[in-house]
Chains A and B, each alone.
Chain A
């Protein structure tokens, strides 16, 4: 029988605010995501188009260089359409990066049964998802709105004519469009990763979630002769949204012209579906009992 001395003292020092706790998980997540050489490789690859765009902007903004390379042609004009193209490229790179990173953030924890350990801290399931979400959105920001705004700032600096005040809408549009996309990608990525424990399959499933409904939507639109099937087509929906936010003419060959309300509704519905999946899958319960 023990003799209880009652001299054990729990920790009574200062503690940080509750809202800061998910940031610890975000830090974990970032280290986890960028600890892979493939992530770094994809990150570098995703910035290569920006380097090419930077060179094009230099050529467009330098009259001598422009004259030497393209003559008097208007091919190299830095406008809404140019930035829309840059944005679309970066945003699709973000999909590749999300498909690689998201499973590393969640599937590993689920596969290793690490959730009971993490959730036995004063961090709720919401806090856990928020931490991973922050890690993923920060990672995707690095290839989307951050380089896009850097290019915008460069153009503002390099343009030989006053340019920035007349084109502030582009910066806003790129930031808003990229933000909507990375939030959607993060939610889809985390939901898929929480559903599929195997990382490689989760990566594939991420692409399937984006492109399989697109195919189904295209078939439905063709068979039923309606444009509403295109609401299942995320590439088309996002392209329409980006084009409207940046204020550029559509770069799609066949413009669908979906209403803004329908675009907003489909994005909100997709996000809510992801939240429902996360709510069902992120649980501390240990499956094996003993």
Chain B
């Protein structure tokens, strides 16, 4: 398997809806695993997803998914599973019929479709009794599950999920995230857009930050955080003598803030130079004056990166 047939590629892609900009000059390569699209409303996340699911064609540039282009509809669509953000279904169907008909639209025989539909419903943990009820009577969480079942039922290699955690209770969210993680580990592409950044953050292999139709940053969350050099990085250091550690750290000018943890057994530290910080911390640890128990970055998560790069109002910070 070569890189082209194993990745999702955007090559200088722009999409305009008349005079409205969807996305502009996006060049991006996504490897297998879980990718989270992060951006404010109207930033172009859904356009990016529509482009990779073949629902819209780029105005400029080229999109290829696992080496396939949307013009090769049969093979392309069979490799992509899409869960739209809209709470929308053809009317009058039960959950099972919805998944079954979806599979038959993918060209599965009725016999195979029955087996795959049952498997998908089991995977999203929708019980059989509920699956045979009309979707119109489903709760929001059940509707989200049935959409997810429809997206994974035909065993796609790329799963595109637009706000898949909306409406799910904490338990269902945890189950869904576990499913995404399992699929990602199996080597599937899982592309998620979500506003619940804290939870998605835990399972993502990489983030793609987008705002106003422009790509702001992409890559592993920790790498992206380290690239944001103008925002001091926040770390939590667990140790036996936080006061001593704080005084040592303040002696160097890259440390801009130190705050004692409420339990008195650690400090939050903000540093403008992570490399220098780790060198100094190693030195302090070797000296033995302070016993370091744990060091953890406190703001290299999608939420913090979002705040730093895009800002709370959605404009680029």
Contact = CB atoms under 8 A, between A and B. Distances in A.
Interface of A: 1-11, 13-18, 20-21, 24-25, 27-28, 31-32, 35, 108-109, 112-114, 116-124, 284-286, 288-290
B84 A8 contact: no
Contacts of B105: 21, 24-25, 118, 121-123
Contacts of B184: 2, 4
Contacts of B264: none
Interface SS of chain A: loop
A108 B107 CA distance: 24
B46 interface: yes
A4 B112 CA distance: 28
Contact of B187 (A5, A20, A118): A5
B270 interface: no
Contact of A112 (B43, B50, B91, B112): B91
Nearest to A36: B92
A23 B181 CA distance: 36
Contact of B44 (A18, A24, A288, A289): A289
Q: Which 8 pairs of residues, A with B, have the shortest CB-CB distance?
A: A15-B107, A8-B186, A6-B187, A121-B105, A284-B55, A11-B155, A120-B82, A113-B86
Contacts of B56: 284-285
Contacts of B32: 4, 6
Given A112-B88, A113-B84, A13 B42 contact: no
A5 B181 CA distance: 12
A114 B186 contact: no
Nearest to B188: A8
How many chain B residues sit at the interface, stated as a range, is: 35 or more
Interface in B83-108: 84-86, 88-93, 101-102, 104-108
Nearest to B104: A24
A121 B47 contact: no
18 contacts: A4-B184, A8-B157, A14-B109, A21-B104, A28-B93, A31-B92, A31-B93, A113-B86, A114-B88, A116-B84, A116-B86, A117-B102, A117-B147, A117-B150, A121-B102, A286-B46, A286-B55, A289-B22
Contacts of A5: 185-187
Contact of A13 (B43, B86, B112, B185): B112
Interface stretch (B71-79, B235-243, B245-253, B283-291): B71-79
A141 B88 CA distance: 30
Nearest to B84: A116
A46 B193 CA distance: 50
A290 B193 CA distance: 9
Contacts of A108: 90-91
Given A15-B106, A120-B77, 15 more contacts: A2-B185, A4-B33, A10-B155, A11-B154, A17-B107, A21-B107, A31-B92, A109-B90, A112-B88, A120-B82, A122-B74, A122-B107, A285-B17, A288-B85, A290-B46
B42 A290 contact: yes
A6 B34 CA distance: 14
Contacts of B46: 286, 288-290
Contacts of B5: none
Contact of B79 (A4, A6, A10, A123): A10
Contacts of B54: 120
A286 B107 CA distance: 25
A41 to B, nearest CB: 17
B156 interface: yes
Nearest to A21: B105
Given A5-B186, A10-B157, A108-B91, A289 B107 contact: no
Contact of A119 (B55, B86, B91): B55
A11 B102 CA distance: 14
